[in-house]
C-alpha cells in the first residue's frame, strides 16, 4: 500500500506541552490506560487514509508527563494515522520495557508467530476504531483477538455510542473476550440511562474515563461531565480505567496541561480508595501487571 509522507488535512496537531508538575500527583502505581506515540514521518510514514496529522510526540516526551503527574505505567494505543503499521507503537513498547503495555491494529493476515512476538513485547489487545477512518474490519478484529484469547488479549473499541447505542450489544454478543470502550463511549454529558451502563453493571465490558474534552461543552474542569462520570463509575467500579489520551490529537485550539488532567481525577474521585482502584488496581488486573502494594 502506498504511504503518504507529507502533510494531510487537517493542519498538523500542535506539539506536546512541556508538562508542569501536578499539585496533587496521581496514586503510586498509576497506569495511564490510553496514550499514543508519533515518531518521525521519515521513519514511520502515515496512512494516506488518515483524517489528521499529529505532531511528533515521542516516548521520551511522554516520560516527562509521567514524571510530572505521577504515572508509573502506561498503555500505548495504536492510533488510526498508522493504519495497520504498528512499528511506531511496537518500537516504543520495546524501548519502554515492562512498565508498558500496548494495544495494536494488526493486518487481517497477521501470522500467529507475529502475534506471539507482540505478546512477548507486551501487547494485550486489538483496537477496533469505528470513529476515525476504519483500518481494520469488525470480523477481522474479532478473528485476531479470538486467536489470542488464551493469552488474555482483549478487544478495545472506539465507537460513538451516543449516536448508535445498540452497537455495543451487537459487538459484545460476538466478542467472547473482554471488551474495553474508549473515551466514555462518546456519550453525551446528559446521559443517565444507556446500554453501556447496563453492560458495565453486568460486567460485560470496561470503559475508559478518558478524553473528557472530546465530550464536554465546558472548559476544564468539565463540570458538565461529573454526573456521567459518576454514573459510569457507580455502574461498576471494578470496570473503569483512567487514560490521559496524550498527546491529545485533533485539538487545534490548544491541548490540556498534564497537571490539569491529574487534577480532574482528584476532582472526580476525591476519596483515595476509589481513585486508587481507577488508576492502579483495575488496570493492573486488565493489563497483567503484578499487584501494587
The residues that are catalytic are: 245
- Residue 209's beta-bridge partner residues? 242
Burial 17-51 (b: 16+ CB within 10 A, else e): bebeebeebbbebbbbbbbbbbbebeebbbbeebe
Amino acid at each position: 500500500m502506498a504511504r503518504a509522507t507529507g502533510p494531510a488535512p487537517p493542519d498538523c496537531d500542535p506539539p506536546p506541552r512541556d508538562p508542569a508538575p501536578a499539585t496533587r500527583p496521581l496514586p503510586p502505581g498509576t497506569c495511564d490506560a490510553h496514550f499514543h506515540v508519533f515518531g518521525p514521518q521519515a521513519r514511520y510514514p502515515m496512512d494516506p487514509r488518515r483524517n489528521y496529522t499529529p505532531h511528533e510526540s515521542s516516548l521520551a516526551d511522554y516520560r516527562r508527563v509521567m514524571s510530572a503527574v505521577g504515572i508509573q505505567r502506561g498503555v500505548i494505543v495504536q492510533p488510526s494515522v498508522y493504519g495497520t503499521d504498528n512499528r511506531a507503537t511496537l518500537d516504543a513498547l520495546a524501548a519502554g520495557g515492562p512498565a508498558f503495555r500496548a494495544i495494536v491494529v494488526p493486518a487481517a493476515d497477521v501470522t500467529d508467530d507475529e502475534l506471539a512476538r507482540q505478546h512477548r513485547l507486551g501487547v494485550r489487545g486489538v483496537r477496533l476504531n469505528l470513529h476515525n477512518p476504519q483500518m481494520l474490519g469488525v470480523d477481522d478484529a474479532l478473528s485476531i483477538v479470538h486467536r489470542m484469547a488464551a493469552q488474555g488479549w482483549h478487544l478495545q473499541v472506539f465507537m460513538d455510542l451516543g449516536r448508535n447505542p445498540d452497537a455495543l450489544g451487537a459487538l459484545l454478543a460476538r466478542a467472547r473476550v473482554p471488551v474495553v470502550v474508549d473515551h466514555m463511549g462518546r456519550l453525551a454529558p446528559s446521559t443517565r440511562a444507556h446500554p453501556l451502563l447496563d453492560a458495565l453493571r453486568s460486567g460485560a465490558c470496561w470503559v475508559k474515563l478518558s478524553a473528557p474534552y472530546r465530550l464536554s461543552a465546558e472548559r476544564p474542569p468539565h463540570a458538565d461531565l461529573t454526573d456521567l462520570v459518576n454514573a459510569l463509575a457507580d455502574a461498576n467500579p471494578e470496570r473503569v480505567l483512567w487514560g490521559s489520551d496524550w498527546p491529545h490529537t485533533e485539538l487545534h485550539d490548544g491541548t490540556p496541561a498534564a497537571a490539569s488532567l491529574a487534577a480532574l481525577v482528584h476532582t472526580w474521585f476525591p476519596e483515595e480508595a476509589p481513585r486508587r482502584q481507577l488508576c492502579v488496581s483495575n488496570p493492573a488486573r486488565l493489563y497483567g501487571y503484578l499487584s501494587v502494594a
